[in-house]
Amino acid sequence: MASMASVSQFTFKTFQNSSPNSKLIPNKSHSLVRRINFSSLSITKYTKLTQNFAVRAAGEDETVPERVFETPSEEEPSEAVPEKELSEIDLLKKQLVDSFYGTKRGSSVSSETRTEIDELISHLEAQNPTPAPNEALPLLDGKWILVYTTSAGLFPLLSSDGALPLVKIAELSVTIDTAESTVVNSVVFAGPGGATTSFSAHATYEVQSPKRMKIKFQECAIGTPLLTDSIELPETVEFVGQKIDLTPTKTLITSIQDTASSFAKTISSRPPLKFPIAHPKAESWLLTTYLDDDLRISRGHGDGIFVLIKEGSPLLTS
């Protein structure tokens, strides 16, 4: 900013009024500005200005470059919206599900991985958001997919997954109907061509505490196979190191496909085969130690742990 001394040396053209109605005309004489009455000036605070302004002073034959004063912008920098951070429970759940990879639902797991899983489960149980799971009916109700267990009673079944040619366990689930107080444990087997069948155990339950329930099995059911109405074969198949062309068999396959379609519709419409469970010790108990919208952790006989994820939960695809 110019000092007072430099301002007093600026020269300005003076004007004289020759008549009341005449225009101002420049006077040949010059006068030096010796004093500026700053009290008569009204200058808005510079931070409130919204445009630039210039100050220029010069004599008749003298050119002084304009000095432009930039005014700061009133725009405030936009604040970046922070990403939503996962809670401690969400992080523990994600780590737990990730640790199940390659364990075949708990039947094939190293001691180191099992220790890691046990620690994550203990941390989640300590932060259980539902202290009375058996009273939280909307959360408890529905179909739960088994993703991990330490129950020795299930290991023979889980270990056989893939042992039979072209047959594998597609799903293990527990469906709870809180309105009817029933539990259905189900195993779905998948075979060639998309054919599936299921084995299920139906039970009733009795609430014994906010966390514990008694389960009594009533009957088992074997679902009739669900078959696809089409047969798809590859163009070639390798057998004893040789590739066999299956293209000539397409005509034969077409006729077989029509027969299979009719057979599939007939057998799939039959009701499942049911038989009662009369054994007096066909009872169990279950203690739910963690429950929320996505995850359910329970403990049963022999301190067996069951980790289940609600059907439709993003945890199943994470």
pLDDT in tens, the chain (318 residues): 444 444 444 444 444 444 445 444 444 444 444 444 544 444 444 444 444 444 444 444 555 454 444 554 555 555 655 566 889 999 999 999 999 999 999 999 999 999 999 999 999 999 999 999 999 999 999 999 999 999 888 877 787 776 666 678 889 999 999 999 999 999 988 876 667 788 889 999 999 999 999 999 899 888 766 554 444 556 665 544 555 565 665 555 555 555 555 555 555 556 767 878 777 667 889 999 999 999 999 999 777 999 999 999 999 987
Helix-, strand-, coil-residue percentages of the chain, each rounded to 5: 30, 30, 40
Claim to verify: residue 218 and residue 298 sit in the same structural domain: yes
Claim to verify: residue 99 and residue 16 sit in the same structural domain: no
DSSP 210: S
Phi-psi region of 137 (alpha: psi -120 to 50; beta: other; left: phi over 0): alpha
Claim to verify: residue 41 and residue 169 sit in the same structural domain: no
Claim to verify: residue 137 and residue 278 sit in the same structural domain: yes
Claim to verify: residue 309 and residue 179 sit in the same structural domain: yes
Claim to verify: residue 202 and residue 127 sit in the same structural domain: yes
Question: Do the Cβ atoms of 147 and 173 come closer than 8 Å?
Answer: no
Claim to verify: residue 135 and residue 187 sit in the same structural domain: yes
Claim to verify: residue 199 and residue 276 sit in the same structural domain: yes
Encoding tokens for residue 156?
């023979």
Nearest residue to 184 via CA among 154, 156, 142: 142
**Residue 75 domain flag:** no
Range of the domain at 25: 4-69
Number of domains forming the structure of the chain: 2
Gap between the Cα atoms of 298 and 285, Å rounded? 10
| Residue that is last in its domain, among 34, 69, 104 | 69
Claim to verify: residue 47 and residue 114 sit in the same structural domain: no
Q: What is the CATH number of the domain that holds 194?
A: 2.40.128.280
**Residue 257 domain flag:** no
Encoding tokens for residue 202?
């139906």
| Residue that is last in its domain, among 69, 96, 117 | 69
Claim to verify: residue 117 and residue 198 sit in the same structural domain: yes
Claim to verify: residue 95 and residue 37 sit in the same structural domain: no
